Amino acid sequence: MSKVAVVTGGTRGIGEAISIALKEAGYVVAANYAGNDERAQAFSERTGIKAFKWDVGDYEACQAGIKQVEDVLGPIDLVVNNAGITRDGMLHKLAVDQWHEVINVNLNSMYYMTKPIIDGMRERGHGRIINISSINGQKGQMGQTNYSAAKAGVIGFTKAMAQETARKGITVNCICPGYIDTDMVAAVPEKVLESIIAGIPVGRLGQADEIAAMVAFLASDKAAFVTGSVMTVNGGQYIANG
């Protein structure tokens, strides 16, 4: 019987690549999305992966969405918390709703998505939770106090959850991508993008498939001894201690 995976923000960008990689690894994948129905439908038609719509920043919506996935596909074995947003601005200009929206979607969603599935994983004695943080959660980024704080929180959440669940056969790990060639990065002004690439030792942006490959490894049985880890995938732009 195939294992079931949920990927939040799973119909575009890094999330799309993760959904496809997990399907290729043998998972039955549920790709969550928040708002772009047309993009989600096109994704499902192209990949054969079912898309499920709910807001990861809403706890009740997460509970209902997870129940729907389990009703359709079965118990969830893997959650990839990938969904995230940016609302950039220097702190002295940052509105309070810009702060709360980013913290809610990028950090509170870790609880909202994990709480409804953790009892089932503990009872079955197996599970995988993979959280997508960011290089900017490790080093910080000017104009992103909200985003950097949320993504740093994801790292702390990962390390604490790993300790809580290790003896139950559940691994919890975190991936910190650097600058990846996605729609979000493509929207950056050309001169800014050039300066970003100049600061990456390997001399290029990362590819979504490279993040997806790391997720697929952490989701596999070969990674059963890996938990509480922070995987830095940024082309050498920031060398982290862990």
Q: What is the mean pLDDT of each run of 10 residues along the chain (242 residues)?
A: 93 97 98 95 97 98 98 98 95 97 98 98 98 96 96 98 98 97 81 91 97 98 97 94 60
CATH number of 4-230: 3.40.50.720
Residue pair 206/177 in contact (Cβ under 8 Å)? The answer is: yes
DSSP bridge pairs for 52: 32
CB count, 10 Å around CB of 119? Answer: 9
Confidence at residue 70, expressed as pLDDT on a 0 to 100 scale: 98
Which residues in 32-50 are b (16+ Cβ under 10 Å) and which e?
bbbeeeeebeebbeebebe
CA distance linking residue 188 with residue 88, whole number of Å:
13
* Residue 147 annotated as catalytic: yes
Confidence at residue 190, expressed as pLDDT on a 0 to 100 scale: 87
CB count, 10 Å around CB of 163? Answer: 11
Token pair 């669940």 in the structure block, residue: 165
CA distance linking residue 175 with residue 7, whole number of Å:
14
Helix (H) or strand (E) holding 177: strand 170-177
Residue pair 133/173 in contact (Cβ under 8 Å)? The answer is: no
Q: Terminus-to-terminus CA distance in the chain, angstroms?
A: 36
Phi, psi dihedral angles at 231 (to 5 degrees):
-90, 115
Task: Find the catalytic residue in 27, 33, 112, 147.
Answer: 147
Considering the entire predicted model, what is its pTM? 0.96
For the chain, domain boundaries? 4-230
Amino acid at residue number 3? K
Confidence at residue 183, expressed as pLDDT on a 0 to 100 scale: 80
**DSSP-derived 3-state class of residue 141:** coil
Confidence at residue 1, expressed as pLDDT on a 0 to 100 scale: 66
Amino acid at residue number 165? T
Closest CA to 82 of 24, 143, 129: 129
From the centroid of its chain, how far is CA 110? 9
Burial class (CB in 10 A: 0-12, 13-18, 19+), 29: buried
